[in-house]
Copies of this chain bind each other. A is one copy, B any other.
């Protein structure tokens, strides 16, 4: 049995601009981000022979390979479940290069809101088939409705408050205000604005929700050996884990003993088992933030605090750069930089390890990046 600890490294990152209503197709956005990541790595398109993608994406492997001008591809695979897949595709690419199935892999996510596949919950067919037939007709129409239920339970059980959720939104907005590429770069956010915002699904207001963004991001991975010769400092995939907990139900995991114990718990257990670091060693994190309450839940799941203490953890600027215990989503995250199914979190993790974040945590040796909570998920621990 051979683990893949530090055997693969991210050596290239690339992204498009972020906006609502970009004209390019999802495929074109993907190709632009991938090309930029290949350039950043100092490689040629023909060097790329591995592809790890979201199955939800419109452009397929052959189209990406043909359009970007890749060489013979010797590894390709997909992961489902949207926001749960971000770290998953990075990890699968790492597995592929670590085992020699390919020499240089790209993992990416392009997302265009108008694309048919990018908001599956918004399609009629998804409301009346599969497990959603048990909740959609009864009012849980959007992901935000599904998470609102969990949030109520969390408030009820542990006394979490709206002010604590605001800590999340405000911290990430401050980080976005430092990041020129963030959608919300120019817009500040105050507690008063947060508390006065309209409900989207009570108890979640406008600012508890992620943005809706068109855009794409990509990373290039090679083996640790090869990474030493690349243009950029290598960022190692120190540990990787995926999780679908037993009897899991996507986004409506209510029918179990403890709905507040989400996939992050099982994913975290594996991740730390495979890691030389412990949560206390990790000085910066990029946590999947489609909705603000996912942050306290993930802080608990990934072991930064005890069960039920995630909301309190956010106080006293704990999530804020530069002085917080755990500066989190230091580019602005899904709530204030861009929502590209969490893939921007991966690139910000890489920047933190390169020392190039606009909210750089000095001397950070490791960064946790997580994907969706409440869905089949994944996480990577990056290392300098």
Chain A residues engaging chain B, CB cutoff 8 angstroms = 1-4, 7, 46, 51, 55, 60-63, 65-66, 70-80, 88, 91-92, 95-96, 98-101, 130-131, 223, 225, 240-250, 266, 270, 274, 376
Contact = CB atoms under 8 A, between A and B. Distances in A.
A88 B52 CA distance: 13
Contacts of A376: 61-62, 73, 76
Given A74-B241, A76-B88, 6 more contacts: A46-B246, A62-B244, A65-B247, A66-B248, A72-B243, A95-B96
A116 to B, nearest CB: 9
Contacts of A247: 65-66
A242 B52 CA distance: 13
A63 B99 CA distance: 30
Nearest to A94: B99
B78 A223 contact: no
A274 B101 CA distance: 10
A20 to B, nearest CB: 24
Main secondary structure of the interface of A (DSSP, over half): mixed
A248 B74 contact: no
Contact of A66 (B7, B66, B240, B249): B249
A24 to B, nearest CB: 16
A85 to B, nearest CB: 10
Given A96-B95, A249-B62, A243 B77 contact: no
A78 B77 contact: yes
Contacts of A46: 246
B76 A78 contact: no
Contacts of A274: 100
B4 A72 contact: no
Which of A65, A98, A101 is packed against the most chain B CB atoms within 10 Å?
A101
Given A3-B100, A95-B95, A100-B1, A248 B76 contact: no
A342 B337 CA distance: 45
A71 B246 contact: yes
A8 B245 CA distance: 24
